[in-house]
Amino acid sequence: MAVQRCSPSNLTELERICRDEWEKLPKCQACSVIPKKTRDCNRCQRCFNKVSLELNPGLNSLLTPLPPGVGLLHVRAVGKNNTLHYLLCSQGAPALLLVHTSSISSKVEVDWPAFLMQNTTGSLKVTPESSVLYSNALVFTRLWEYDDVNDTADPEHLPPSSFFQPYELQNFTWGDLNKTLDPTGHTALLCGRDASESFSNGSLCLKFSAFDVEGRDQGWPSLLHNANSSQLRVGLDGVAPRSNRSRFSIELQAVGDTQPMSRVDMLQSIDDEYTPSIFKVSQWVSSPVNSTSPVLGYAQWKPVAYRRPSPVFEDATPCRHSAPVPVAQLPPSGLVRAYFGGEHQTTGLNMTFSITGDPFYNTTNYLSWTVLVGLGSPPVDLFSPLVLVIMVVGLGTPMLIILLGGVCVCVRKNRPQTQGYEPIHAKPGYVSHL
């Protein structure tokens, strides 16, 4: 799958200049120069970041060889006066950690021998630690499978006997990130398998994408992203279901340094151009309690999954989430334990795929779902040009007809009255010869 970037045709002239100048300059030095050349482009600093990828930062593989299936991807996005660090790790349950710092020179430090022990707090740091403004992690902990005998697609109201033993993602064998890393496209593909027979020809994959510019992914659901966000596309492919009526849900947990993602907001729209038939977007957000302060971080998705890698309209299937609930302990992720450690606030929810009447998983043996993870307020979809044209035509045409009708009435009422019919016998001097 290709990474969607903002194409030149989608950028204004000032933004093109901004991007060109940025690429010419090293690291964040571009930030202090660009505004002088493009003072009208006030979007430059929030639309563009300098992104770089690094695998297993600071590792000496000769001194500390990695166990099979363990990898740590570090993505560094440098802005004007801050840095975003994304860390994707496959040690234990796969996790994506986001750290925001106030320094353009902040870096990741890993004590690899301690990190690989999976229970050493502080073995992974972002330094200087005093520059850290915000941190949050999204962890994929379990894959649930249940036998939907009555076709309800509602696992919350099913008896425990309907559920199969869950797949613990911490026990998966994960692939080598080095083989799928694309530094140019800022992407990496992490695929894992369970030791059971069900995964003999199947896999669970996480497609990670980092962005240096605003834009949309080419494939549905075409989430709007910006330079402060990253994306994970989850794909369940070729897994042998344990019943003919199997459906799946995935368990997610969020860990926060001060404010975890504790609530899910649902936004409505009348525009479905980028995601046909989907008029909602869900946002699992981190924000101060009882405060009007803006959102600190988020996980955003549209409530839809797809049953084929290259879907058509009929391959879309709705999905829904459970309410976030507090979790008593940290998720089984080596990355989370190394960075957070101790007691930190954790919340969790389940993402369930399909609704009543939809085909079961064995129809295509494929499911994909996409989530955006980022800093600050989530991107908001504006009306697309197509919808704006439809609104103008749909609302403007009746208004124009009413306006023209009113003008015609006014003109007719103000027109001078013509003299009425005058009988001929009323004319003086007329003599009838009949």
Quick: pLDDT tens for 218-235: 889 999 999 999 999 999
| Stretch (H or E) spanning 370 | strand 366-375
pLDDT at 221: 95
Give the CA dihedral 113, 116, 117, 121, nearest 10 degrees.
90
* DSSP codes, 135-155: EEEEEEEEEEEEE-TT----G
Beta bridge partners of 249: 144, 352
Beta pairing class for 132-147 and 124-127 = unpaired
Q: Is the confidence at residue 270, as pLDDT, over 50?
A: yes
Give the lowest-confidence range in 11-15, 94-98, 370-374.
11-15
Q: Is the confidence at residue 414, as pLDDT, over 70?
A: yes
Q: Please provide the distance, in angstroms rounded to a whole number, between the alpha carbons at the two ends of the chain.
A: 101
How high is the mean pLDDT of the chain? 85
Q: Is the confidence at residue 76, as pLDDT, over 80?
A: yes
Is there a contact between 116 and 67 (Cβ–Cβ < 8 Å)? yes
DSSP character at residue 131: G
Choose between 122 and 424: higher pLDDT.
Answer: 122
pTM given for the model: 0.80
Q: Is the confidence at residue 206, as pLDDT, over 60?
A: yes
Quick: pLDDT tens for 14-72: 455 555 554 554 443 333 333 333 333 434 444 578 999 999 999 998 888 999 999 99
User: What is the CA 368 to chain-centroid distance, rounded?
Assistant: 13
Choose between 433 and 293: higher pLDDT.
Answer: 293
Q: Is the confidence at residue 397, as pLDDT, over 60?
A: yes
DSSP character at residue 349: E
pLDDT bin (cut points 50, 70, 90) of residue 344 is confident
Mean pLDDT in residue range 150-167: 96
Q: Is the confidence at residue 3, as pLDDT, over 50?
A: no
Cα(157)–Cα(311) distance, integer angstroms: 30
**Tokens, residue 379:** 């991107």
Is there a contact between 71 and 96 (Cβ–Cβ < 8 Å)? no
Is there a contact between 53 and 84 (Cβ–Cβ < 8 Å)? no
Choose between 403 and 15: higher pLDDT.
Answer: 403
| Stretch (H or E) spanning 339 | helix 334-339
**Tokens, residue 341:** 């450690």
Give the lowest-confidence range in 257-261, 344-348, 378-382, 413-417.
413-417
Burial of 252: CB neighbours in 10 Å, binned 0-12, 13-18, 19+: buried
Beta bridge partners of 318: 304
Mean pLDDT in residue range 149-153: 95
Mean pLDDT in residue range 252-270: 89
pLDDT at 346: 95
Beta bridge partners of 173: 193
List of residues 6+ apart from 161 with CB closer than 8 A? none
Is there a contact between 298 and 285 (Cβ–Cβ < 8 Å)? yes
Can you state the angle between helices 13-24 and 29-37, rounded to 10 degrees?
150
pLDDT at 383: 53
Cα(143)–Cα(121) distance, integer angstroms: 27
pLDDT bin (cut points 50, 70, 90) of residue 424 is low
Percent helix / strand / coil, the chain, rounded to 5: 20, 35, 45
Q: Where are the alpha helices (DSSP H) in 38-157?
A: 44-47, 112-115
Choose between 26 and 97: higher pLDDT.
Answer: 97
Q: Which residues of 393-420 are buried (b: 16+ CB within 10 A; e: fewer)?
A: eeeeeeeeeeeeeeeeeeeeeeeeeeee
